[in-house]
A and B are shown apart, each in its own frame.
Chain A
Amino acid sequence: MAFDKMELRDIEVWDGNFAAAQAMRQAQIDVVAAYPITPSTPIVEGYAQFLADGYIEGEFVMVESEHAAMSGCIGAAAAGGRVATATSSQGFALMVETLYQASGMRLPIVLNLVNRALASPLNVNGDHSDMYLGRDSGWIQFDAYSPQEAYDLNLIAFKVAEDHDIRLPAMVNQDGFLTSHTAQGLKPLSDDAAYAFVGEFKPMNDMLDFEHPVTHGVQTEEDWHFEHKARQHNDLMVKVLPKIKEVFADFEKISGRKYNLVEKYDMDDADICVVCMGSSVETAREVASEMRANGIKAGVVGIRVLRPIPFFEIIEALKDIKAIAALDRSSPNGAAGMLFNEIAGALFNTDSKALLSGYVYGLGGRDLTKAHLVALFKELQANADAGKITTQLQQFIGVRGPKLAYL
């Protein structure tokens, strides 16, 4: 091999962006086509530096827009090799057309989505608007709550996406700045162990196999389009979650770190819980422990895989809970929140008597404080005690001015 391995310490201090870049290096990606945007830029800068320093062998294509970035990734993936990129927010929005094309063409690209608000007004800080924008695009969506998880889930994403039974692109979400720019101690795998885990890329329908020409990206109208889309949905519904579980188990064997489709914290005997994503999960866990010290049986459910939605795991996690809060870090703009709807949809036909309320928080990087969560858990306890929802169904928390509540 014409590149050098990197000696890593048992514990490295990396932020989420550098952790993702390191995982991409260890996966020995063949092509990265990318365009810079805050806060994801350091990921592709990191890759460029690894390339410049001889720690990787591949092609880095610095294109002229995010649309072109994903277009180049699609061409490269169809040619037959390991492909990844990174973006955020407006760049992700510009990519949206090509996201559907990548998944419809069943190309296993890994996209690091460093979550950031969507303009207008322009904002560079973290919320989940971009993550939500991508949720119907046919991609697998993982969510990392910390730099360690951003690293781990990148390695996992390649292995899931590239499996020949799956062949679907995957996003690894992490919170802009809160995770992407926060350095923490984490435990990387060695280069050899990481590459052995991800495995060699095995091409399928690769354009560069000149003996077997292939046509990618065909036209289908009312005669075949539905069958193609249905088949893609079927694979997402039937094949992907079992594969993710299998890969999580493989990863636990080599790293000792256990991942689940739905991450439960103190849920075994909980009366009330919050369901959330991103770095808020860690804050909520801390507050839940404090609530328990005060006699409130609080728990936290983190969504680890947003697409495909772990429907039955959500039911299982929430079946005995009396009061649930769904926390959405994206403005629903005229509806209940996405997580609220997913949870309501999962629980509706069950025997659950849970009281479900929704909270919109943290837009544009506004902090979710422990005080917010303490108040929220108290509201949930009040709901549980009263046997009904004591507030309006949807509330905004942490926003200035008169309290905003709806439904």
Chain B
Amino acid sequence: MSEMKKIKNLKEFSTSADRFEGANLLCPGCAHSIIVREVLNATNDDLILSASTGCLEVCTAVYPYTSWDASWIHIGFENSSTAVAGAESMYKALKKKGRLKQPDRNPKFVSFAGDGASYDIGFQWISGCMERGHNIMHIVLDNEVYANTGGQRSSSTPIGSSATTSPAGRVSYGEKRNKKDIVSIMAAHNIPYVAQVAPNKWKDMVKKIQHGFAVEGPVFINAVSPCTTEWKFDPKDTMNIADLATDSLVFPLYEIIDGHELNITYRPKNIVPVEEYLAAQGRFKHLFKDEYKYLIKEWQERVDEKWAYLQRREEARV
């Protein structure tokens, strides 16, 4: 049987032994390491991990060092999902053949990738893994930009954000396309579990990760990962930005079970205006010029619409 950790409070969580070392090269204030710790801390079971090329990978496995105290593999930019699916296939094969060295273990197979590696270049690989029903969990560390290569737009970059390949300029407000709805796309694979999580809501996250570990079959998790460098906020404010993201409902927290049963898992007591979320980040600074303020209004309308949609979906149970 799976062994999930029972962590009562944040203090206990912060001192809980984990398999991701603090010794890594991620930026101060990077949410990636917080999310990874929250995920790894959700279980006592053995872990087989993978990472796509990106911030997490280049900052945690620079030879001759490693930050990983669990088996970990990186192949390329697009294939962390398939890498861990290959390992999971080998596990199944060796289990059948009775050749596992420690046959009584119950390993979890987890793939980490950024939004570039998930929404864009690795999209097909993830879709393939989900469709084939591997017993793996793919987690997107969604910072809405190619952060590792210096802030180029991905298909997760939201409209109005200034990225290096969609910069705001004298005659441009930056990114013109709205963020891809990858959660819905993955839910459409009718897999057992899809969820959106945020590092500031760690209990919600751990619950979802534990749910994901408990089900048989593929699991997809989209985790908002505020990026101090590319979103342009002070490193000490990571959790404040994450709070604004979840409380403005720009990143609503919800889950979809078996492709249809949608549950909202966090309802902010006081919903914060989207404007406050945007104002806290340098990447949206230009939107506060008079000529672009309509974009903020449109953004608020989109968030309201999506929130209404999620509530209707939840209520309808379809």
Residues of A within 8 A of B (CB): 2, 30-31, 33, 57-59, 61-65, 67-68, 71-81, 83, 97-98, 101, 105, 206-211, 213-221, 224, 228
Contact = CB atoms under 8 A, between A and B. Distances in A.
B132 A61 contact: yes
B307 interface: no
Interface stretch (B10-18, B84-92, B236-244, B296-304): B84-92
A224 B79 contact: no
Given A30-B94, A71-B86, A210 B102 contact: yes
B311 to A, nearest CB: 35
A62 B128 CA distance: 9
Q: Which of A33, A73, A80 has the most CB atoms of chain B within a 10 A radius of its CB? A: A80
Given A64-B128, A67-B78, A214-B71, A79 B63 contact: no
A68 B127 CA distance: 11
12 contacts: A2-B97, A58-B96, A65-B125, A68-B82, A71-B75, A75-B82, A75-B88, A77-B90, A207-B48, A208-B94, A219-B57, A224-B63
B2 interface: no
A61 B134 CA distance: 10
Given A213-B69, A218-B63, A72 B57 contact: no
B189 to A, nearest CB: 12
B61 interface: yes
B87 A75 contact: yes
B317 interface: no
Contacts of A213: 19, 68-72
A210 B93 contact: no
Contacts of B82: 33, 63, 68, 71-72, 75
Given A61-B85, A72-B86, 18 more contacts: A58-B96, A63-B128, A63-B132, A68-B82, A68-B125, A71-B125, A74-B86, A75-B90, A76-B89, A101-B75, A213-B71, A214-B71, A214-B72, A215-B61, A215-B66, A217-B73, A218-B61, A218-B63
B91 A79 contact: yes
Contacts of B64: 224
B6 interface: no
Given A209-B101, A215-B61, A218-B61, A75 B50 contact: yes
Contacts of A80: 90, 94
B7 interface: no
B26 to A, nearest CB: 13
B58 interface: yes
Given A61-B132, A71-B83, A218-B63, A208 B74 contact: no
Contact of B71 (A59, A101, A208): A208
A31 B100 contact: no
A65 B124 contact: yes
A216 B73 CA distance: 5
Nearest to B83: A75
Contact of B97 (A30, A33, A207): A30
Interface in B88-112: 88-94, 96-97, 99-102, 105, 107
A79 B87 contact: yes
Contacts of B28: none
Contact of B127 (A64, A101, A206): A64
A207 B71 contact: yes
Given A61-B86, A76-B90, A214-B71, A208 B48 contact: yes
B237 to A, nearest CB: 29
A219 B91 CA distance: 26
B61 A73 contact: no
A30 B93 contact: yes
B76 interface: yes
Contact of A57 (B48, B72, B97): B97
B271 interface: no
B234 interface: no
A77 B124 CA distance: 22
A71 to B, nearest CB: 4
Which among A65, A208, A213, A221 has the highest number of chain B CB atoms within 10 Å?
A208
A211 B72 contact: no
B93 A58 contact: yes
B279 interface: no
Contacts of B132: 61-63
A14 B39 CA distance: 51
Interface string B142-183: 000000000000000000000000000000000000000000
B93 A71 contact: no
A218 B68 CA distance: 11
B204 interface: no
B124 A72 contact: no
A59 B73 contact: no
Given A76-B90, A208-B91, A210-B46, A216 B107 contact: no
Contact of A207 (B66, B73, B79, B92): B73
Contacts of B86: 31, 33, 61, 71-79
